[in-house]
Structures are given as C-alpha cells and as structure tokens.
Structure 1
Amino acid sequence: MGFHSSKTLRTLLSLSGLVFATSVLAQGDDEAVSRLEQVIVSATREPETGLNLALPWSRIDDEALKLTSAVHINQIMQRAPGAWISRGNGQESLIALRSPVLTGSGGCGAFYTAWDGISLRAPGFCNVNQLFDVNSEQAGAIEIIRGPGTSVYGANAVHGVINTLTADPRRGPQNAYAVEAGPNDYYRVRGEFRAEHGEHAFGAYFNGASDGGYKDNAGFDQQKLTLRHDYSGDVWQVQNALEATNLNQETSGFVAGFEAYKDPSKKRLNPNPEAYRDSFALRAYSRWERETSAGQLSITPYFRRTTMEFLQHFLPWQPTEKNGQESLGLRVSLSDSTENISWSAGIDIDATRGWLSEVQANAFSPNQPAGVHYDYEVDALSAALYAQANWQLTSRLGLATGLRLEQNSYDYDNQTDDGSACAPEASACRFFRPADREDDFSNGSVNLGITYALSDTHRVYLRGAHGFRPPQAAELYRLQSGQEIADLDSETISSVDLGLRGEIGGFSYDTSMYSMQKRDVIFQNADRQNVSGAQTSHEGIEFSLYWAGESGWYAGVDGNIARHKYDSDANLLGSRLGIEGNDIDTAPRQFGSARVGLDVSLQNNRSLRTELEWVHMGSYYLEPNNLHEYEGHELLNLRMALALGKGFSTSLRVTNLLNEEYAERADFGFGAYRYFVGESRGVFVEFAYSPEWR
C-alpha cells in the first residue's frame, strides 16, 4: 500500500517543510508567540514549560475546546498529531495514538487515559470506550504525551498518555449558561458556576445532551458533572475534585457490504436495533501539598467506581455483558529543586475490585449455549516506586531521566462452574472459565532525554524510553476454546525520539521522528486462545505548525506520516501465515488536520472568531492479510463564534461541510466489509449567556 497522499496533503506537507526549515535557521532574538511556552503538568505532575521538555507533547487548551464544542471526543483530538479517536456509534470510540486502532479486550491497555493524572480505569481493567467517562467538553485542557510515558505513569502508558485536566475555578466567568441544538434531534445544555471566598475557590460544571441518532432506532442521553474546590492556606495547598458521568445509549452496529457507507439505502440502517449500552462512572480525589524541610510533599488519596451493561451486538449470539470496578488509591511524592536540578520521587498504590459477567438469553448453538458464560471477580493491587530528575548541565544542555518499578497482582475468583460453559456434546465450546488463581507481574520502565538549546526559542531533543502493560484481567480469565490457563507476559515497548521545536515571530513548530519496537504483544491466535509473543514496529514523523498574525488571522497544521507493521509471523485469528512485514490493520500511513481562522474584535465589546478546518484520513487495510482496504476521506468543518456584548454570545458549527460520504471506521470481519457510517452535513447552533466576567 502506498501513501495515497492527496494533492492537498502534499501541498501542506511542502508548506510545513518550508516553515520548519525557516524556523530552524532563525535565531531566537525575535519576539515569539507563547504557544510552546505553555505550562505542561502531565510530564512530571509538576508545572513545566513545554519548550524545554524532552518528549513529544500536545496541549489542547480551553479556547479550542470551547470553539470545537465537540459532540464526540474525536472532533477535538484531531488537533493532536498522531492521535485518532475512531468513533463508533453514539459515544463509543477506539483509540489510536502513535499506533493502529487497537481492538480486542486488552487493546485499550496500551493507552493511559487520565483525569488530572489519575487513570480513568484501574490497571488491568481498561475499556475501549473509557474516554466517555471524562468530562472533556468542559475541561481546562487536554494534554497528550505520545509514546511511552514518563516515570510518573506505569501500566498502560505504552503508546501514550491522554490526560484531561479539570478547569481552574479562578479562571472564566462566574456563571455561564448555554443551550444548543443540532441535527437528528440533538440538544445539549451546559452550565458553569464559579465562586471565590478568601482562600477558597469553587467550580461546578454540568452538561447534558440528548441525541435522537443519525441511524434508525439509535441515539443517546448523556450527563456529566465536575466539581472542584481549591484551597490556598498558609501551610497546605489543597485541590479537591469529583466527577460523575452517565450514558444511556441505543446502539447501532456495523452496516455490511463493500462501501455500504455510500449506499443511501444502508447509511441510516441499524442492523441491531436491540443493542444498547448503559455506563456510569464516578471519581474523586483530594490533593494535599505543602513545603517541608525535605522538599514539597504531595499526598493524594482517590476513589473510582464504574459500572457498565451492554449487548454484544457485534457477536451473532448476542450475549449481555455487565462489568464494573471499585478502587481506592494513594499517591505520595516528595519533590525539590535548586538552580540546576529538580527531582521528585514517589509511591503509587491502587487497590481495585473488578467484576464481569456474560449471560446469553437464547441458545445459539451447542458451542454458544444460553446461560452464564462468565461470572468472576478479581481483586487487584498495583504498587509502584518511581524517581525522576532534571539537570541543567550547562546553559544550553539539559538532561531528564526517570525510573519506575511496579508490581501488578491479580486474585481471580470464579463465581460459576470451572471449565467449559457448554454441554459435553459441544464440539468446540467458545467459553472456558479457569479455576481460581493468582497472577503477578513485575515490570520496570525507564526514560532518558537530552535537550539542547539552539537559541532562546529553539530546542532539539533526543529521548529514549521503555514502557509496559501487564495483561488485562479479561485476557487472563475470559478464555475460549478449552484454554485452561492464559500464560501471558507483559507487553513492552522501546522507543527513540528525535525532536525539534521552536518559535519565531508568529510561527511555532514542533516535530518529532520516532521509532518504537513492541515485544510480547498479546493477541488471539487462530485457535481463539490468548497468547503473547508477537512483535510489531512503529515508525513515523509527527508535526505541528502554528502561525498567528497581528491582524487576527491564524493557521495551524497537525499531521503525521507513519508505518505500523507486524514484525513477526504471528498466527492471528482471521489471518493466514505470512503477515510479517504487512501493515497492521486499521493503521493509516498518514492522517492529520489543518485549520485557518480569523479572530477579530468588533465595536461595542463584540468579537467574531471564524475557523475552517480540513481533516484528512489516509487509506488503511482492514485485516492482517492486507487484502481489503478503506480508501480514506477528506472532510471540511466550519465554526463561527460571535460575542454579542452584555454577556450574550452565539456560535454556529457546520460539520462535514461538503457532505462527504465516508466511514468513521472501516472493518472486515465474518467475511464481509463492515462500516460505522460517517454522518452527513450537520448544523449546530448554540446560544450562551455569561452575566459576569472577571
């Protein structure tokens, strides 16, 4: 498969290279915009200037979040190079971050998704849709680390970190209200309330959405609430936060048939009107910080709970799954800094009880019988020690390093009969329940980065990092085809990055070249058994370019060119031998977005911001044999926000402006092309009121 680059993309890449070369040659005496001087907290849990970080990062700020006003998180993550949140139906999603779109019960374990640095799900209990657990719509920012995380992240920080930060209650209007309407009976309301009283600041953020659904008999109702309290005392600095999300969704499945997304008779067809998904998530933490004689002490206890029920409509026998988890966690760290060195060390503990059941209402065949397929609980404990340090060796040369040691333990308790879920006459029972057991996984991660200041506003860095993920509980205990024990190893990844970033005048650029080798990859083989030992490689170039003019014009490009391939001849389910060197399925070799906008002030305290966005998705293969392919697509989105004065504002968003026929995600399974159909042109209008501004 070639790169299949469109003429538009080649033009943008040529422009990107020109801007990049100009920026590198320039020296930093010019006044630079502050885009790369943003404060980043995700790398070390401490505020740091992004320009000096020896790792690839992206930050989507609150202004971009408000302008995009995403209905689904994939609409905002297009602003981060190398990130593709593939949208399923409703609020469902799959993550690709410097990776293919990873599926299966454990694929989500390759990404560390977090809320104020705390993982949305416990280690070992990820869910592919877990990003709908977080109130990204009203966040203060979303920060992304691409590639293995730093030492403050452990299990699952393999391909990257997506960290959603709560909004600062001291920033923004004291009160804000908005109502919104869109196509297919889509309605959303939101409210924001902030208050300060002496040393205390309070923030409350709520939004509720109802969507009638683009597909027949499909739609969702969703509510999200975030509360935050900050206290600045003479001794202790405290930050408390609580977040709850609820989703009730009527789900639509794939439509089948080659390029079915172009067929008017199939585009709105829901082949699974009986499908549904109900999910609830609750999280809270209290972060206490103070100065001591040994440095700054930070203590953060936290709690999380999730429950989910859904019909597995993607399987012909359609069982119902219920899963959930409850966790208590504690983070303790000590940090300090001098003129030339800063360091931190800490302990992370996470104790979780997770559960899962799968029940089939009707008999499908002797190999897929009615009744209980699985019913188990797992008590899990994750404990880690970490340390990291940054040295300023000379006025130009900096060194960053980190080390983490982590132990993940599972105590599995089968709540139903051990062994096969089928009657003795079954020829190849799909469901096997292992007997009670305990499993332990010890892993370590390390990272080392060097930065060199070419000038005041230009940096080059070299980084090496190693990450890991232990097997997920579902990979260990949700077995098939008579597999009595899943003897799995932890997946590991090693990466090298060479990056360059800087600013000159109104231009900023950030680019990185990377090579990553992944080992002991867990997969389901042709016998439907969970095994480890596969190898994959991931190489590419990522770039972000941004320009802001004095007249209010601005432009930005975020993109990547990459190759994700099989480095071993694994006997994958649904493939035949000989896949070594093939592209991994659902791994486009290039995708990205570009936008141009105008932000101007008008008379009488009014302002107007207009933005046109172009989204490019390259072609990709749909299965490991590389015999079936999706052609890719191009989309245009238009956004306008008008401040009317006296606290009133309105916005207009037009998604898929040219009414392109496309697939949000393409797949090939059960012998057929399958698609989640992309929605046609949609017009969204919002009216907002903020009576008091600071």
Structure 2
Amino acid sequence: MSVCLPVFSQEAYLESLVVTASPFEKNIGEYPESLSVLSAEHLELISHNHIQQALQSVPGVNLARGNGQEYLPSLRSPVLSGAGACGSVLSLEDSIPLRAKGFCNINELFESHSESARSIEVIRGPAGTLYGSNAMHGVINLISPEVGGREGLPFRGVAIEAGPHDYYRAHVTLDSGLRNNSGVRADLSLTTDGGYRDASGFAQQKIALQHQALFDGVQVRTRLAVSNLNQETAGYINGENAYRERSLSRENSNPEAFRDAYSVRLSSQILMDRSKGGQLQLTPYLRKTDMRFLQHYLPGQALEENGQESIGLRGSYLFALSDDLEVIAGLDAEFTRGHLRELQKNPTEGSDFLRETIPLGKHYDYQVDAFSVAPFTLATWTMTDTWTLYGGVRFESLQYDYNNKMLSGRTTEDGRSCGFGGCRFNRPEDRKDSFQNLSPKLGATYDFAPGLQFFANIAQGYRAPQATELYRLQREQTVAELDSEEVSSIELGVRAFNNRLSYEFVAYGMRKRNVIFRDTEYFNQSNGKTSHRGVELALGYAFAQNWRLETSSSYAEHRYRDKRELQGVLLNGNLVDSAPRAFGNYRLQWLPRQEITTELEWLHQGRYYTDPQNQHAYSGHNLLNFRAQWKTDRWTLSARVLNLTNKAYAERADYSDFTGDRYFPGEPRSIYLSASSEW
C-alpha cells in the first residue's frame, strides 16, 4: 500500500483512515481495490509546485505536465489527450467532483487546494460503483484538513517560499481549534511564477474557509473553496530533439496565449451517527466555474469561454443487516447549467483552405442543461475471520438538454457559406440526449496472517459522452451518435505491512470499448477499443536505523484493439501513443537526527511512441531530485533541488503531421527554499 509516512510502523498503517473507497471512514486495509494514500508528512516534504510532483509517487500515475499549472492525466492509462480524453479520471476534493458530469476540464486539478491538503487518496482502476461517470481509470481525491486537526487544537502558521524565474509562494493558516465542539479554519495560498519560458508566467490565488460543529450527535462540516488562475501560456517547441537545445527550450512561439480560470465550491457534510440505527451522511453542494483561454494550438486561435453552475446532493446510509453483513445505500443527484462560446477575432493564417473554412466571428454559442441521478449500494460480508466479500452496483441516468444560440448548420455566424465544401464548424439543432449505465463490482480480501493480505477485485466503469463531444461538431457531422465508454477490469494483489517492510503488488487487466475519438474526417466516433494490462509495485523498506527506501514502479502495455486505420496504417495491436511501458519513482530517505529529513528521489520515464502508427518515439529520461527539511517545534526550513544533474528532457513529447516532433521542455536544475512558522 502506497502510504507515505516519515517513520513507518504497523500501528500507523492500520490507523490510516480513508474515505475515497467508501462514503464513511474505514481503515485502509478494509478495501479490495488498489488504493494509495499520500500522507500530510509526505506532501509537506514534497511541497509540490505542480500536482504532478506529488502524484508521481503513486504507482500507475504518470501525469504529463504542460505549461504553468496545465497537465494531461494518466492513471492506469496512456497520457490522455484529444477527443475522449477529458473525464476519464475523476478528480475530487473531499469526495465532491471538481467538475460536473459531462463538463470536465482536462486540467481540472489546478482548481483544487492541493497546497493545503492533509492527504491525497487515489483509487487505481474503475470506481464507477461509488462515483459513477468519469471514474473509469480511477479517482484522485484531495482531502482537506479538519478544524483543529485530529487533536482539535488551535493552529496558526505562515509559510513562504522562493525559487527560480521569480517564483514566490506564501501560505497562511488560521485555525481556532475546536471549542465547545465548534471551530473555524482558513487557508490562503498565493503563488506567482515568472515562468522558465518566455511569456509563460502565472499568478494563482486560493482560499478555503471552513466551519465545523458537533451538536446533538450531528457533525456538520461546511467548506467554501475559491480559486483564481491567470496564466500566460507557452505551447510546444518543434523539431526533432528540440528540448535538448537550452536556448530553444526557453522560446515561446505563442506569447499571446493565455488561460484565465475561476472556480468556487460550497459544500456541507452532515453526518448523523445513530449507533444502533446506522449512520446517515448528506452532502449538499454548489459549484461554479468560469474559464477563458486562447486556442493557440489551432488555426485561427479562437477564444473559448466556458462555464458551469451546479447544485447537487450526495447521500449515503450505512447500516448492519447482521453481525457480519454491512450495507451502504446511497443516492447522488446533480443539476448543471453549462455554456460554451468560441469566438475568432483575427483572420486565419495559412493555406487558402484554412482561411476559407475557418472564418471570423463566433463558431459556437450554446447552453446545455444536464441532470443526473444515481442510486447505488455497497455490501460487505465478513464470511470468516479471514475472508471478506465486497459487492455493489450503481445505476446512473444522465440527461442533456442542448440549446444552440446561433444559426444551426455549417455556416458563418451570419449565415454565409464557406468555400471548399463548407465551414469547419457545424452546430447541431436543439436536441435532447440521455445515457443510462450500470456499474457493478465484486471484490474479496483474504488475510493469510496478521499484516499479510490477498485481494481481488472485478469492476466496471464508464464515462458518458461530454457535452463538447456531442455538440461541438465539425465538417459534415450533424449528430454525434456516441455511446458511453465502458471499461471492464480485473485485478489481483497482495499487500503486507510490518514494522520494517510494507508493500503492495498488483496485476491488472482492463478492456475499454466505445472509446471516443476524432477520426481523420473530424467526426467524433465511439467505436474504438483498447486493452490495458500491467503490474504495479509500491514498497517501503526501513533497511537500517534512520534509513528508508520507498519505491513506486509500474509496467504496463496499452494497445489499440480495433480495425481503425490512420494514413493507411492498421492500428490494431499497436501500442497507444504517449504510453511508456515502464516508469517509476524511487526515494531514499535518511534521518540523521529526529528533526532532520533528507531524501534523494530518482524518477524514471521509459521510452514511448508519440504517434498511433508507432513510427516516432521519445527515448525517455531519468531525473534526480533532492530534498532536505529541518523541523523544530515552531520552525521548519526546507530546500529542494529539482533536476539535480541539470538534464535536458521533455515533460511531454508528441508528434503532429503538421509540425513533426514537438515537446514541452522540462526545466533545468531548480532550487527552492522555504521557511514556515507555526504557533
């Protein structure tokens, strides 16, 4: 089990409580899933500037960092991009999705307040039974700190950090502690970064306000989270191995590109503990997001504006049918109103075809109302002292009501036809669409001995088509006849934990069908198939006094399994692009004194293809990072050296028929210093 603690012990492991695999807190060993937990101590040592830096210590997670706070997700999957990519990994904060069903954003984790998280829980593999649509490859859930922590004590703290390229970050926490079973907490994070590349800096502000109270057996935890991002964006650099040229890696051919994103979430978790009648948990929530960004990567560089407003409720009831049978029954419901506008202000540059088919003015302007409702149940049957069975099922209905606010069809904004057969952008007539899905699961755990456990899990996940895939059409396609993506998964694993050694070894196989992609004619299709097989190892070993080794290793093969052709090449059997077979994270920790922690980290990224035809590739890379922390009762001083050997590498490599090899270059050696005080 990937539990990162400063000093490992069996007691600490068993006392780790998680909520991601169940609506109610349980010990980490009570699940048949592959579940990793990054502790507060681990997150404090990592002190990530980007969420990728924290999650790369989880097996199977291989986020590809873009510019600023952007990234592409990967969890037991290739690095996901393009049509069908967004929404395949569900991102949560305190078990509330950051985005509404059908309105995902591929970069959505930058809206979470990860800088103040007390833990990050990751389910690797389908989790549709509990979370429904989008929890197809897995779930990333950031858990915010409680008022007063576990001890209920007051806390006030300030942290400041500085790094290269005018990087500065400040974090302030004010916590009243619990007094008479009530208290408040505020977390503020402010970050500015000038950017390694030209015109690529960002400024981000996040604040979380929380009130917690306990009265008459009812616990209420209300939280307001607000984030704002203003980012200057740098795109790919082009040319074979261009990332190796330091001067070229600093260039930005799109200095005009930007992204502005704002989000606010309000939720209230109400837990009623009825010792004999069970536990009832209700979580109503509100959500609002707005985003503007320049599509610098497309001809015409249109400006996109999108947003959504949601109201939802998650409800769960835990009760016992007998001494050995526990049941959770729940209902999730959500209503969302989303909108999207795309406006091109400047003439398209390039060939006559591009200039004619990509016109000035609005390309899209629509509103979508979405309603989802999903009953689910989970049961735990303790058969014997060693055997436990888990089973559950979820039914989810998602309905869209699409309203086009422009002329329908393939015309300019004012109704004129484009040459060369018509405009690229096609706006469907008003319509309604609905999707219904089942997500069953069956799992088991077997305790060989204290501290040694076998587990098995069979699960199915799904991802309903997103609004942009259904209504943002191109060329001759007037209706996107898409089905929900589905994945079937089986995994077998063994995990052990004792005073010196902990590990979790998992083998899994998954098959996806109805994979959504954009074909060579710019049609959104859903008849793709892929397979995913791999093994994962998380290991922690205290091999000597004050020395500890932690590893996170993954080997997987992700392949196309359908009859698609691309430029005359049959893709069936090819490795999916942006999918290294092997990658891993290896950390050696030394604690020379109780107040000092040092860590040397080795990051391995294996070779991978950059095109579906498997004709172009990135050779991979190896990086070293070093961290040191000195901590007293009131003060903490930290230093981090990233890319210790100053290696030239690519955060992401890709291949385009238009530009050839292209890369997001990695940063050279970077040193960050921080100081914090608490009282």
TM-score bucket (shorter structure): over 0.9
Trace 1:346-385 onto structure 2 (pairs within 5 A). Answer: 346-364=330-348, 365-385=355-375
Q: Equivalent residue for 2:156?
A: 175
Tell whether 2:119 aligns with 1:141: yes
Match of 1:595 among 581, 587, 590: 587
CA-CA distance at 1:481 after TM superposition: 0.7
Q: Equivalent residue for 2:611?
A: 623
Q: Equivalent residue for 2:650?
A: 663
Distance in 1 separating the partners of 2:609 and 2:563: 17
Please give the secondary structure, in 1, of the residue aligned with 2:469: helix
Quickly say closer, same or farther: Cα 1:216–1:682, change in 2 above 3 A.
same
Match of 2:212 among 210, 218, 230: 230
Distance in 2 separating the partners of 1:297 and 1:190: 35
Match of 2:16 among 16, 38, 59: 38
Trace 1:263-302 onto structure 2 (pairs within 5 A). Answer: 263-292=245-274, 294-302=277-285
Distance in 1 separating the partners of 2:40 and 2:425: 46
Structure 1 letter corresponding to 2:582: Q
Match of 1:451 among 435, 445, 450: 445
After TM superposition, the score normalised by the length of structure 1 is 0.92
Tell whether 2:43 aligns with 1:65: yes
Please give the secondary structure, in 2, of the residue aligned with 1:202: strand
**Contact 1:501–1:509 (CA under 8 A) maintained in structure 2:** yes
CA-CA distance at 1:389 after TM superposition: 0.6
Bigger mean CA deviation after superposition, 304-313 or 284-293: 284-293
CA-CA distance at 1:553 after TM superposition: 1.9
CA-CA distance at 1:311 after TM superposition: 0.3
CA-CA distance at 1:173 after TM superposition: 6.5
Please give the secondary structure, in 1, of the residue aligned with 2:207: strand
Distance in 1 separating the partners of 2:633 and 2:572: 63
Q: Equivalent residue for 2:87?
A: 109
CA-CA distance at 1:45 after TM superposition: 1.5
Bigger mean CA deviation after superposition, 628-637 or 542-551: 542-551
Tell whether 2:609 aligns with 1:650: no
Distance in 2 separating the partners of 1:467 and 1:676: 31
**Contact 2:368–2:401 (CA under 8 A) maintained in structure 1:** yes
CA-CA distance at 1:636 after TM superposition: 0.6
Please give the secondary structure, in 1, of the residue aligned with 2:473: coil
> Structure 1, residues 1-40: CA drift from partner, whole Å, max 9, x if none?
xxxxxxxxxxxxxxx9xxxxxxxxxxxxx98463365222
Please give the secondary structure, in 2, of the residue aligned with 1:266: helix
Quickly say closer, same or farther: Cα 1:561–1:581, change in 2 above 3 A.
same
Please give the secondary structure, in 2, of the residue aligned with 1:83: coil
Structure 2 letter corresponding to 1:680: P
Bigger mean CA deviation after superposition, 563-572 or 286-295: 286-295
CA-CA distance at 1:106 after TM superposition: 3.5
Distance in 2 separating the partners of 1:37 and 1:300: 25
**Contact 2:411–2:418 (CA under 8 A) maintained in structure 1:** no
Match of 2:382 among 368, 371, 392: 392
Distance in 2 separating the partners of 1:322 and 1:584: 31
> Structure 1, residues 518-571: CA drift from partner, whole Å, max 9, x if none?
011111111100011110000000110002367322210001000000001224
Distance in 2 separating the partners of 1:36 and 1:534: 42
**Contact 1:353–1:379 (CA under 8 A) maintained in structure 2:** yes
**Contact 1:150–1:402 (CA under 8 A) maintained in structure 2:** no
Unaligned runs of 5+ in 1: 1-15, 17-29
Tell whether 2:314 aligns with 1:321: no
> Structure 1, residues 618-644: CA drift from partner, whole Å, max 9, x if none?
01111100001001000111111112x
> Structure 1, residues 201-238: CA drift from partner, whole Å, max 9, x if none?
32211110000010011100011111222212222111
Distance in 1 separating the partners of 2:213 and 2:553: 40
Structure 2 letter corresponding to 1:356: L
After TM superposition, the score normalised by the length of structure 2 is 0.94
Tell whether 2:163 aligns with 1:185: no
> Structure 1, residues 643-678: CA drift from partner, whole Å, max 9, x if none?
2x4612211000000001000001111241110000
Q: Equivalent residue for 1:584?
A: 576
Distance in 1 separating the partners of 2:128 and 2:475: 39
**Contact 2:238–2:659 (CA under 8 A) maintained in structure 1:** no
Tell whether 2:417 aligns with 1:424: yes
Q: Equivalent residue for 2:103?
A: 125
Runs of 4+ in 1 over 6 A off after TM superposition: none
Please give the secondary structure, in 2, of the residue aligned with 1:389: strand
CA-CA distance at 1:421 after TM superposition: 3.3
**Contact 2:315–2:331 (CA under 8 A) maintained in structure 1:** yes
Tell whether 2:512 aligns with 1:515: no
Q: Equivalent residue for 2:352?
A: none
Tell whether 2:560 aligns with 1:566: yes
Quickly say closer, same or farther: Cα 1:316–1:150, change in 2 above 3 A.
closer
**Contact 1:462–1:497 (CA under 8 A) maintained in structure 2:** yes
Q: Equivalent residue for 2:5?
A: none
Distance in 2 separating the partners of 1:326 and 1:504: 47
Q: Equivalent residue for 2:535?
A: 541
Distance in 2 separating the partners of 1:31 and 1:385: 39
Structure 2 letter corresponding to 1:262: R
Structure 2 letter corresponding to 1:403: V
Structure 1 letter corresponding to 2:285: Y
Quickly say closer, same or farther: Cα 1:580–1:594, change in 2 above 3 A.
same
Matched residues, number: 656
Quickly say closer, same or farther: Cα 1:681–1:564, change in 2 above 3 A.
same
Match of 2:176 among 195, 204, 207: 195
Percent sequence identity over matched residues? 42
Distance in 1 separating the partners of 2:339 and 2:555: 40
Quickly say closer, same or farther: Cα 1:233–1:550, change in 2 above 3 A.
farther
Q: Equivalent residue for 1:614?
A: 602
Trace 1:470-489 onto structure 2 (pairs within 5 A). Answer: 470-489=464-483
Distance in 2 separating the partners of 1:630 and 1:237: 52
CA-CA distance at 1:51 after TM superposition: 1.8
Match of 1:81 among 40, 59, 63: 59
Structure 1 letter corresponding to 2:296: H
Unaligned runs of 5+ in 2: 2-7, 349-354
Quickly say closer, same or farther: Cα 1:214–1:371, change in 2 above 3 A.
same
Bigger mean CA deviation after superposition, 575-584 or 537-546: 575-584
Bigger mean CA deviation after superposition, 465-474 or 229-238: 229-238
Please give the secondary structure, in 2, of the residue aligned with 1:409: strand
Distance in 2 separating the partners of 1:51 and 1:324: 39
Structure 1 letter corresponding to 2:403: D
Structure 2 letter corresponding to 1:431: F
Please give the secondary structure, in 2, of the residue aligned with 1:107: coil
Q: Equivalent residue for 1:257?
A: 239
Distance in 2 separating the partners of 1:311 and 1:99: 28
CA-CA distance at 1:369 after TM superposition: 0.5
**Contact 2:84–2:515 (CA under 8 A) maintained in structure 1:** no
**Contact 1:180–1:686 (CA under 8 A) maintained in structure 2:** yes
CA-CA distance at 1:169 after TM superposition: 2.0
Distance in 1 separating the partners of 2:623 and 2:520: 37
